[in-house]
Amino acid sequence: MNKPNLLNNYFLILVSIIPLSILVGATISLSNIILLTLTFLFFSIYKRFLFLLKDPIIISLLIIYLYLILNSIISINPEIGIYRNLGFFRFILLFASINYLFFFHKKIDLVFKIWLLIILIVLFDSYIEFIFGKNIMGYGDLYGARIVSFFKDEPIVAAFLNGFVFILFGYLFQNFDNKNIWVKSFIYLLVLSFLFCIIITGERSNTIKFLFGLLVFFGLNHHLKFKFKILAICIVVLLFTLAYAKSDYVKYRYGSQLFTHFLDKEQRDKYLNNSLYIIIYKSGFEVFKNYPIFGVGNKNYRVETCNNSNSNAKYYCITHPHQIYIELLAEHGIFGSIILLSIIFFLIFRNLKAIILSRNLIQVGAFVYLLTNFLPILPSGSFFNDFNSTIFWLNVSILYASNPKTNIFKNYT
């Protein structure tokens, strides 16, 4: 085995275990990404991949990086967010390294097979916790009926699954017309299994994102005829109804705790005045009103609200505003939000025509996931924390890398 093949296999292994490293913990996930990106950095210097610095996607990511450095300088407490902002450089290298891997490695299918195995284990584990109250490692007491699976003290398993399932759906639906009826049935069953699993986690925001994403994926899936798409929507509604009818917890999370607030005027008014999310959203807007141009700085929301909650009754002391647009406005102001959203939307929609025409369903899956991140109003995790950033920029990387027409190495000679 020659050295280039050895290095490519090394990249393949590190990319293949990304979901596993996220499950194990933030430190392992970060270490895995750093190993991958630093190796690629030295390799790209050795190979003199200077053409990458002229690529419009790399330039766009570098503009985000330079902005984030500026954001640290002008933030209310530069020390708080400096490491997060400087650390964004690893996602530029992650993007480039995954594009390199997909372009030069002949066995890239192995990545998706390993991802699928890991995600299926999480799916199975989530059902175990739903049925028995604890997962296979004994986790599940801290959040009661909410499912945590391998994340132990964080109810983010649906967010984790959302980050990978659409790419994997795309992988499974490749060459779908040529597969036999048993394989097709297995894929349909798998999609429904993920749907039911995400519903029973109790993560309402991620359930809505999954349902939205699934409808878009079905809509862009050329293998599915229109009649089947209508049937699929009916099955989704039926499955949700079944979960609602059979599970008191699902009924509580999606029924009495949610719809009652809006069907009854008294309950609705009470909800709007006392809902924790509404309070947090209002707090985020208050921070934005006080720092409208540049915001308080990345990761500085907690500094502003916790230090001044006594003097400002609208402030609520918490780590972040739990809504992507409010978070961007509060921590980056109008100036930073325009820069970040303009570049991110440019990256997502730049190749929309190529995505549709090429019918590359892996690329479609990544595109669908990225769309779900920007649904308005819905609560979300902090956009720049390690968990969300890793999954988000991994999907951006797959969005480009999985199609030879959009891969940044397509003109490499």
Alpha-carbon distance 242 to 373, whole Å? 27
Total H helices, total E strands in the chain:
20, 0
Give the single-character DSSP code of 144: T
Q: Cα(126)–Cα(106) distance, rounded to whole angstroms?
A: 34
> Residue 225: left if φ>0, alpha if ψ -120 to 50, beta else—which one?
beta
294 and 335 Cβ atoms separated by less than 8 Å: yes
- How many Cα atoms sit within 13 Å of 225 on the Cβ side? 3
pLDDT at 3: 52
pLDDT computed for residue 245 by the predictor: 65
Whether the pTM exceeds 0.95: the reply is no
Task: Characterize 99-111 residue by residue with b for buried, 16 or more Cβ atoms within 10 angstroms of its Cβ, and e for exposed.
Answer: bbbbebbeebeeb
CA angle (56, 58, 34) in 5-degree steps: 170
Cα 123 versus chain centre, distance: 17
For 333: left if phi > 0, alpha if psi spans -120 to 50, otherwise beta; the answer is left
Amino acid residing at 142: L
What gap in Å lies between CA 337 and CA 79, rounded to an integer?
A: 21
- Proportion of the chain in helix, strand, coil states, percent, rounded to 5: 75, 0, 25
Contact by Cβ (8 Å): 137, 129: no
Tokens standing for 366?
Answer: 């990544």
pLDDT string in tens for the chain (413-residue length): 345 588 899 999 999 999 999 999 999 999 999 999 999 999 999 999 989 999 999 999 999 999 999 999 999 999 999 999 999 999 999 999 999 999 998 889 999 999 999 999 999 999 999 888 888 988 887 666 788 889 988 889 999 999 999 999 999 998 888 889 999 889 989 999 999 899 888 788 999 999 999 999 988 888 878 777 787 778 777 777 776 666 666 666 666 555 555 556 666 666 666 778 889 999 999 999 999 999 999 999 999 999 998 888 889 999 999 999 999 999 999 999 999 999 999 999 998 888 888 889 999 999 999 999 999 989 998 999 999 999 999 999 999 999 999 999 988 76
- Please report the pLDDT score of residue 395 as a whole number: 98
Of 94, 86, 90, 56, residue with least CA distance to 70: 86
Single-letter code of the amino acid located at 405:
K
CB atoms within 10 A of CB 127: 17
pLDDT at 70: 96
DSSP single-letter state for residue 173 = T
Q: What does R_g of the chain's alpha carbons equal in angstroms?
A: 22
pLDDT score recorded for residue 161: 97
Q: What are phi and psi of 139, to 5 degrees?
A: -80, 150
State the pLDDT at residue 1: 38
